[in-house]
Amino acid sequence: MPNVNQSQSNIPSLGVGTFRLKDEEAYNSVTMALEVGFRHIDTAQIYGNEEAVGRAIKDSAVAREDLYVTTKVWNDKLNKASFVDSVKESLSKLQLDYVDLLLIHWPSPENGESMEEYLGELLKVKTLGLAKEIGISNFTVAQVEQAVGILGEGVIATNQVEVHPYLTNTKVRAACEKHGIVVTGYMPFAVGKVLKDDTIVAIAEKHGVSAAEVVVAWELANGLVTIPSSTKRKNLETNIKALELTLDAEDIAKIDALDCGDRQATPDFAPEWD
């Protein structure tokens, strides 16, 4: 089994995402991911699959201490009244005593709560031992600065944002690097778009690997954690094989140059992106 190496934080640099996966599909994807060697599983309250993910973890032979599980708090729970209880509900669904990482899913509280309020609750969850690490997701440069101002340096483990060859998100990545915050890149394949890109296909042919392996290896070469998802065992096996692929500087530069700001995740409550 490949060594799933660690990032600056304790976050394994390659994980498996579960966005858009429901019920048995989520259960089967996580089950297969654990079987092929993944140990980092990413879910969220809004995905509606924490129960299925928890069941897959429970039914697997993998010891809890060998797993890294992430979930995220949704926009309607970003307040003192609901936050901690929502995390306890997530843990109940996941059949876990704690998550390894808890994130604010979007800096978009439904009722306009202040960042001080919801980050205070996030920190409380860590203090209570319900999450080992805490972080943020979809935060802009200004919001990263604000969050660090509230929580202090060295508290935020990651900012999970969309990163792929068509959206390299360099400004946010630079802001995170300045504060020692690991960036987790979600949607690495841009919903499959980048896997058909001529440049990426040519690099894949050069190395005798798949386009998916090239994209994952590019994310890892850029110091990112990444969480591709799949419902097919073959694709999960391919994704984890990317840990064995080393791209050269020319490959990385060519992929970096594909950035065209093609963002996939743009809900109406999203912040004003950098």
> Which residues fall within 8 angstroms of residue 226, CB to CB, at 6 or more apart?
13, 14, 15, 163, 184, 185, 186, 188, 216, 219, 220
The pLDDT value given to residue 10: 87
Section 26-38 average pLDDT:
98
For the whole model, what pTM was predicted? 0.95
Q: Which residues are annotated as a binding site for substrate?
A: 105
Taking 70 as the threshold, does the pLDDT of residue 7 lie above it? Answer: no
**Mean pLDDT value of segment 255-274:** 96
Give me the domains of the chain, ranges plus CATH numbers: 16-188 (3.20.20.100)
CA dist., res. 16 & res. 2, Å (int): 15
Catalytic residue of the set 47, 118, 166, 186? 47
Q: CA-to-CA distance for 4 and 70, rounded, in angstroms?
A: 16
- Residues across the chain: 274
2 pLDDT band (50/70/90 cuts)? very low
Quote the percentage of the chain above a pLDDT of 70. 97
**134-168 residue pLDDT tens:** 999 999 999 999 999 999 999 999 999 999 999 99
Which tens digit of pLDDT belongs to each residue from 52-107? 999 999 999 999 999 999 999 999 999 999 999 999 999 999 999 999 999 999 99
Spell out where 99-189 has E strands: 99-104, 131-137, 156-162, 182-186
47 is an active site residue:
yes
Q: Is the pLDDT of residue 212 over 70?
A: yes
Which percentage of the chain shows pLDDT scores above 90?
A: 96
With a cut of 70, say whether residue 8 has pLDDT above it.
Answer: no
Instruction: Check if the beta carbon of residue 137 is closer than 8 Å to that of residue 160.
Output: yes
Give me the residues paired with residue 226 across strands. Answer: 14, 185
φ, ψ of residue 138 in degrees (nearest 5): 60, 30
How far apart are the C-alpha atoms of 71 and 41, rounded to whole Å? 9
Q: Is the pLDDT reported for residue 11 higher than 60?
A: yes
Binding residues: 105
| DSSP codes joined into one string, 12-39 | BSB-EE-TT--HHHHHHHHHHHHHHT--
Assess whether pLDDT exceeds 80 at residue 265: yes
The chain-wide mean pLDDT, for the chain, equals 96
